[in-house]
Structure 1
Amino acid sequence: MAMELEYPNPLNIAAPLSKMAKQIYLNLDADKLVEQTTSRGQGQLSDAGALCIKTGKFTGRSPQDRFIVQDEFTSKHVDWGDVNIPISEQIFDNLLEKMRLFIADKEIWMRHCRAGADPSIAIDITVINTTPWANLFCHHLFIRPTKDELNKHEQGWVILQAPEFLADPSVDGTRQENFSIINFTKKMILIGGTAYTGEMKKAIFSVLNLILPYKHGILPMHCSANEGIDGDTALFFGLSGTGKTTLSADSDRKLIGDDEHGWSDNLIFNFEGGCYAKCIDLTEEKEPEIFAAIRRPALLENVSFYPLSNSVNYADVSLTENTRVAYPIHHINNAKERSIGRIPSHIFFLTCDAFGILPPISKLTNAQAMYHYLSGYTAKVAGTEIGIREPQTTFSACFGRVFLPLSPTHYADMLGDKLTQNPDTKVWLVNTGWTGGAYGIGKRISLQHTRTIVKAALAGALNNVEFEADPIFGILIPKSCPQVPSEILFPRNTWSNKEEYDKQANNLATLFINNFKQYQSKASSEIKSASPKLTAILA
């Protein structure tokens, strides 16, 4: 029998579901959700106790099928284009009604949760799922309210996720059968046709990327954060394959969060209550914290077992290279109890430069920090994605372009303002890629050297060393670093063919300049001043 639920929100979108659904399971604990998943044959337990499920056709997000409802509010604020694709209010309303009818006489799982560890700006969320394991994901990734917070919970934002519901593109105005639609005015997100759980997490991240700057002047960031023994906070930005998770998971520092944070006037705070880590080639030796976190009731997605066992083979990518695990943040032994930290002392922009041009570490001025934040550069190499044989440059503004409803220059300007207001915050560009030559010729920078360099920066060991400006990029390279060979700090010195280095450096600088053209009309003169200077090698 369905439960009758009361909601203070005037729109009252979720309430009619209580009259239509066959059964509503409200705020079940994690163990019960695991039991319901296995009893329905939707998943099985690993030997470590984690729940293993498969998400079906979609094992990752589908950015081309993510829409924002274009209405009076969003028309004034959203940066429309290939990332933020508009859809009409009528299409949204029609799909909402179809989804309401679709879930009639079905079991649904509802959960009250939150986003934002800073209680002064936290948003309440009501999630509606058609599977218990999707609700388990929300239990892990969103913030779990206390009993008192649950008593005061408002409907807030509503996520309605029904993977079994398929749109008809010819009628419903979508591109395919799957879709994710954000409606800022109605505070609602519709997700259909895909069971990939990350769509829910990133939809809320997109919401926060608009409302936090717009309402609170808070900079939302796609980064991890940790805290030292003295309370100093460090942020780590980086695209896939750059080492963001590896470098931020430091047993000597407390984890604030692994993926999404806000920077307000006086603190850094996590948006989430859990972690969503990649599992490809995971081993206890390489990632001991993550490996130990994979226990009941963690949720493993799209992994495979060794034959005749329930032991996970993390090297098996037959389903996808994007194998994932979701778990509450307290599964990490050194996670901070309150996911809040001070204004950052250090910010690290991580890049995997497969062309072997950028130094292992360099210090950035405020203008350079804004420029590289807007650029969000890395390079993909063979093996990271199907079809990649040669290094390919990737630029993703603010290290998360696909989640930004506003113009990327808006976030870069906000970062510049934060750095101006906090002059003691140091920004570093760290190359975790190649040295001595490009991919295929040179070698990958030692992870041990990278960790040593990052620890040196955090400890203040680079504060009083001499720096030298790179002639092309202008970034400041330290002439020495404790326990690191000085010859590797200047990449040109590691190349046997110096002329080839100069040529490749020129090529990389040109790629930066060409990418930046899309922001030229909106970027400030300060950001433009940090552009690479090709004349430095053409003279």
Structure 2
Amino acid sequence: MATSVWYDLRQKHTGIIHINLPIPRLVELSLQHGEGHLTESGALRVSTGKYTGRSPNDKFIVDTPSVHDEIWWGNNQSVSEEAFGRLYHKVLDYLGDKELFVFNGFAGADRQHSLPVRIINELAWHNLFVQQLFLRPEDTGWPVPEEAGFTVLCAPGFQAVPDEDGTNSEAFVILHFEQKLILIGGTYYAGEMKKSIFSILNYLLPRQGTLSMHCSANQGSRGDVALFFGLSGTGKTSLSADPERFLIGDDEHGWNDNGVFNFEGGCYAKCIHLTYKNEPQIWDAIKFGTVLENVVFDEQKRSLDFNSEEITENTRAAYPVSYIPGSIYPGTGGHPETILFLTADAFGVLPPVVRLSPDQAMYYFLSGYTSKLAGTERGVTEPQATFSACFGSPFLPLSPVVYANLLKDKIAAHKTRVFLINTGWQGGPYGIGKRISIQHTRQMVSAAMAGALDQVCYTTHPVFNLSVPLTCPGVPADILQPQTTWSDPKAYEIAALKLAAMFHKNFANFAGMPATISAAGPFPGL
């Protein structure tokens, strides 16, 4: 295959190609093509069909000599150059007479580490999505890139044939680092484009000494920056969209010698059970130009039902960060004073807020714990522990130790305080206990960022070896100690020991870590 995707495409293509169309025009074309519906809020509502989330089993990296020894193959599937080449030309043939939409922009708000991207779409709404999610030249003031650092070729209508194409299904997401190309097909879920670019940056930036992170970030009035790490559903977007602070970005950031910077120009918020009361900034961001994925709506009234899980629990809203009042664009900030690891513990045993030592920060960063809930996936009948290294293992081409060591060095250099925040359940597991209120969680987060938890008294958790504050401004003291919220102390102990054992088992994957870090988890021997 040729090294220039853009050249190959233009050689074969006979249809219309639109480049960097304005947002209103993309909305118009999406409606004209029957790709979506305009809702009462002005947002464009679309359906992604069979795939309502990422498809990790359909993601591959092309195994070439230049990357083979660097890739964390225990976490990534390989595909040969030959198989990739055959599929690539099939996709070009499929797109040959299609009306196409091209976005030329950037990923990375730090100009020094910005990656020029070209994203080629079969659908107008997909191009609207990437224009809202990535950095637009007209917004940054940077010139339109003449050459792409990476190209995404997205053809959702093309379906692979596994027996012929070496894929696992009709869907595929393939990263080719040498050709600087991402090939996507068989899935209409727009998040695949976003996360593929994130995976590319997770490969490129650490090799340049910049830590790439799956986290949101905001900044206070005195310039203090906070990072929020967490998997889907733990509250990254909700907690970072704080009316009292300035949003830098909601999902993906880098941390270099200058400070932190957003990889994107937009947000991709979960909106299941969205209410104005709990998340006013996200609620108000759902307006003209916003893309709503799979939200149930009334086709006659064009009204939205954010509470319905009829299609999926993973409903999403994609909008530019400028839709959040007081947001920082392009998203850059200083070195973080506070880091918050977010987990939604459905077992109901972790404290709602704890302070982590540097070794504990490495332990819980590498663990990346949260839990899946009963009913959210077929076959899941009770809460299941999920460990995702660095709070984002599906997007890590390199070993998690690479990212952990970079984080350790930066925490030490900038004396960053680190906390673990449980946004999950108390008083019992999911189905018995209650979820910690977002109002109390916001109070704990605010106290951690303001330094109000630096001087309070702490106690050590008897199972998890964590420092738990005895008091926190604005939070009832009785909810800070999770064991006191259960009616049956023995049942709590059994549940806590069960989760602790899961931590120990998972951390065995990092046997080469220093002994001080390995010992920073739940008490040894439990």
Q: Taking structure 2 as the reference length, what is the TM-score of the superposition?
A: 0.95
**Which residue does 1:524 correspond to in 2?**
514
Amino acid at match of 2:451: G
Deviates more, 1:67-76 or 1:48-57: 48-57
Instruction: Tell me the secondary structure at the aligned position of residue 16 of structure 1.
Output: helix
The structure-2 alpha-carbon separation of the partners of 1:285 and 1:486, relative to structure 1 and needing over 3 Å to count, comes to closer
Deviates more, 1:430-439 or 1:174-183: 430-439
* C-alpha distance in structure 2 between counterparts of 1:385 and 1:175, whole Å: 20
Deviates more, 1:508-517 or 1:97-106: 97-106
Amino acid at match of 2:227: L
Displacement, 1:327?
A: 1.0
Deviates more, 1:453-462 or 1:187-196: 453-462
**Which residue does 2:324 correspond to in 1?**
332
**Which residue does 1:476 correspond to in 2?**
467
Q: Is the 8 A contact 2:116 2:148 kept in 1?
A: yes
Deviates more, 1:360-369 or 1:454-463: 454-463
Amino acid at match of 2:471: S
* C-alpha distance in structure 2 between counterparts of 1:57 and 1:444, whole Å: 30
Displacement, 1:79?
A: 0.6
* C-alpha distance in structure 2 between counterparts of 1:45 and 1:415, whole Å: 43
* C-alpha distance in structure 2 between counterparts of 1:19 and 1:116, whole Å: 31
1:60 and 2:50 are equivalent in the alignment: no
* C-alpha distance in structure 1 between counterparts of 2:161 and 2:483, whole Å: 56
**Which residue does 1:106 correspond to in 2?**
98
* C-alpha distance in structure 2 between counterparts of 1:283 and 1:501, whole Å: 32
1:506 pairs with 490, 494, 497, which one? 497
Q: Is the 8 A contact 1:377 1:393 kept in 2?
A: yes
Deviates more, 1:147-156 or 1:232-241: 147-156
1:370 and 2:355 are equivalent in the alignment: no
* C-alpha distance in structure 2 between counterparts of 1:495 and 1:190, whole Å: 50
1:447 and 2:447 are equivalent in the alignment: no
* C-alpha distance in structure 1 between counterparts of 2:86 and 2:503, whole Å: 43
Amino acid at match of 1:376: G
Displacement, 1:251?
A: 0.3
* C-alpha distance in structure 2 between counterparts of 1:496 and 1:54, whole Å: 44
* C-alpha distance in structure 1 between counterparts of 2:432 and 2:270, whole Å: 28
Deviates more, 1:494-503 or 1:313-322: 494-503
Deviates more, 1:181-190 or 1:483-492: 483-492
**Which residue does 2:63 correspond to in 1?**
70
Displacement, 1:152?
A: 4.5
**Which residue does 1:7 correspond to in 2?**
none
Q: Deviations over 1:289-311 (max 9, x none)?
A: 11111111111112232262111
1:257 and 2:258 are equivalent in the alignment: no
1:457 and 2:448 are equivalent in the alignment: yes
Displacement, 1:534?
A: 4.1
**Which residue does 1:43 correspond to in 2?**
36
Q: Is the 8 A contact 2:137 2:144 kept in 1?
A: no
Unpaired segments ≥5 residues, structure 2: none
Instruction: Tell me the secondary structure at the aligned position of residue 75 of structure 1.
Output: coil
Deviates more, 1:332-341 or 1:298-307: 298-307
1:274 and 2:266 are equivalent in the alignment: yes
Q: Is the 8 A contact 1:159 1:191 kept in 2?
A: yes
The structure-2 alpha-carbon separation of the partners of 1:182 and 1:355, relative to structure 1 and needing over 3 Å to count, comes to same
Amino acid at match of 1:222: H
The structure-2 alpha-carbon separation of the partners of 1:308 and 1:532, relative to structure 1 and needing over 3 Å to count, comes to same
Q: Is the 8 A contact 2:100 2:122 kept in 1?
A: yes
**Which residue does 1:141 correspond to in 2?**
133
Q: Deviations over 1:120-164 (max 9, x none)?
A: 010101111111111111101111113863344322211101111
Deviates more, 1:191-200 or 1:388-397: 388-397
Q: Deviations over 1:241-272 (max 9, x none)?
A: 32222221110001100000111123110000
* C-alpha distance in structure 2 between counterparts of 1:100 and 1:307, whole Å: 35
* C-alpha distance in structure 1 between counterparts of 2:144 and 2:270, whole Å: 35
**Which residue does 2:166 correspond to in 1?**
173
2:86 pairs with 90, 94, 106, which one? 94
* C-alpha distance in structure 1 between counterparts of 2:99 and 2:195, whole Å: 25
Q: Deviations over 1:452-486 (max 9, x none)?
A: 11111122211211222223322211122223222
Deviates more, 1:231-240 or 1:432-441: 432-441
**Which residue does 1:241 correspond to in 2?**
233
1:407 and 2:405 are equivalent in the alignment: no
The structure-2 alpha-carbon separation of the partners of 1:392 and 1:148, relative to structure 1 and needing over 3 Å to count, comes to closer
* C-alpha distance in structure 2 between counterparts of 1:301 and 1:94, whole Å: 31
Instruction: Tell me the secondary structure at the aligned position of residue 91 of structure 1.
Output: helix
2:306 pairs with 293, 303, 314, which one? 314
The structure-2 alpha-carbon separation of the partners of 1:177 and 1:442, relative to structure 1 and needing over 3 Å to count, comes to closer
Instruction: Tell me the secondary structure at the aligned position of residue 100 of structure 2.
Output: strand
The structure-2 alpha-carbon separation of the partners of 1:42 and 1:495, relative to structure 1 and needing over 3 Å to count, comes to closer
* C-alpha distance in structure 1 between counterparts of 2:484 and 2:40, whole Å: 50
1:212 pairs with 205, 215, 219, which one? 205
Displacement, 1:374?
A: 0.7
Deviates more, 1:359-368 or 1:430-439: 430-439
2:196 pairs with 199, 203, 206, which one? 203
Deviates more, 1:284-293 or 1:433-442: 433-442
1:224 and 2:192 are equivalent in the alignment: no
2:371 pairs with 379, 387, 393, which one? 379
Q: Is the 8 A contact 2:58 2:172 kept in 1?
A: yes
Amino acid at match of 2:437: S
* C-alpha distance in structure 2 between counterparts of 1:389 and 1:169, whole Å: 31
Deviates more, 1:104-113 or 1:439-448: 439-448
1:128 pairs with 113, 116, 120, which one? 120
Q: Is the 8 A contact 2:340 2:420 kept in 1?
A: yes
* C-alpha distance in structure 2 between counterparts of 1:11 and 1:354, whole Å: 48
The structure-2 alpha-carbon separation of the partners of 1:228 and 1:383, relative to structure 1 and needing over 3 Å to count, comes to farther
Deviates more, 1:155-164 or 1:482-491: 482-491
* C-alpha distance in structure 1 between counterparts of 2:428 and 2:508, whole Å: 28
The structure-2 alpha-carbon separation of the partners of 1:75 and 1:359, relative to structure 1 and needing over 3 Å to count, comes to same
Q: Is the 8 A contact 1:112 1:150 kept in 2?
A: no
Tell me the matched-pair count. Answer: 523
Unpaired segments ≥5 residues, structure 1: 1-9
Q: Deviations over 1:316-338 (max 9, x none)?
A: 32222211111111111121133
1:347 and 2:333 are equivalent in the alignment: no
Displacement, 1:386?
A: 4.1
Deviates more, 1:441-450 or 1:69-78: 441-450
**Which residue does 1:4 correspond to in 2?**
none
* C-alpha distance in structure 1 between counterparts of 2:470 and 2:508, whole Å: 33
Displacement, 1:107?
A: 1.2
Displacement, 1:211?
A: 0.6
Deviates more, 1:83-92 or 1:379-388: 379-388
Q: Deviations over 1:161-188 (max 9, x none)?
A: 1111111211111111110100001100
The structure-2 alpha-carbon separation of the partners of 1:102 and 1:324, relative to structure 1 and needing over 3 Å to count, comes to same
* C-alpha distance in structure 2 between counterparts of 1:88 and 1:240, whole Å: 31
Q: Is the 8 A contact 2:83 2:166 kept in 1?
A: yes
Displacement, 1:279?
A: 1.8
Q: Is the 8 A contact 1:472 1:534 kept in 2?
A: no
